[in-house]
Structure 1
Amino acid sequence: MAVKARETLESKQISFTTLGIIMVVVVGYTLLYNQFANTLEDYRLKTIVGVISLVIMMGGFLISLRYITTAYEMVVTHDRLIIDRKIFFWKKTVLEVKTDDIKKILPIEEAKKVDGQMRNYTLTNMDGKRKYVIQYEEQGKICCVKIQCTGKFHETLKKQVKI
């Protein structure tokens, strides 16, 4: 299984604007919680509200951390396209398609709705990495996957698929 092309798509660093918005939300949430907790006199109710607030904050933090640290590793071999999703040190193969099953590789602007499953393995807009739609056949249905890659990776994939 010779690797013809390999590309890693990593999310870019968080911008100062996004960081500022997150800080405003955290400070505002903390102030609102503090105002609400000060109005309560029952200790048990204060504890319950505190635990619920902590769970909400931790959940929001973990969800945002997941989206910030997601990376996709794409590999084209002589007969397969393999996409792995990495979150921190967890790695999972999310797509493995034989190149013989791939029907079309289109820019995202030219894509049409398909009857099978639609998957999205793209991140925010990045310089030099366009978004493409790969249509492939799986169990008799035409399925679709959105990827984001450089022109070199796209050309190598097209050569392997022979479109």
Structure 2
Amino acid sequence: MTDPRSPETIGGPAARRGHRTLPHTADMRVAAWAPTRAECIAEAVLGVAESFTDLGGDPPCRGAETLHLEPGPPEDQLLAALDEVIFQLDTTARVPFRAEAREEENGISLRLWHTELGAVTQTGASPKGIALENLRFEQGPDGTWTCEVTVDV
């Protein structure tokens, strides 16, 4: 039986990378998948952003930044990236609408393009944090990386 969270079930065999929200009783869960750990983190960032905004169309770019994620366990790198996204949202009202990541010798380079929260339609409550409980980030037997996080709203 295929795992209901696997990329094949979520988006079909052609969906090599992507993200989606999952049902959760009080907060929100985001699942992401990609061929590499770095790309999976980028997809999770976009999944969190799209969980409370409509990023469709062509939002105006208000800048870009590159984050350096230190080497370490994948879960720690994922948390560092998502914590930074929430921090930026809280302090500058910016939300990422595009994300690219690549693995480097000394960690992961994560490039984020931002728009202002007021420039997009807000569809839900803004995230307040990432829960450590039920956080999952792993590489499957086919090499695909998948992660799931619970977003506190």
TM tier, smaller: under 0.3
Larger radius of gyration: 1
Structure of greater relative contact order (alpha carbons < 8 Å, 6+ residues apart): 2
Structure holding more helix per residue: 1
Q: Which TM-score applies when normalising by structure 1?
A: 0.24
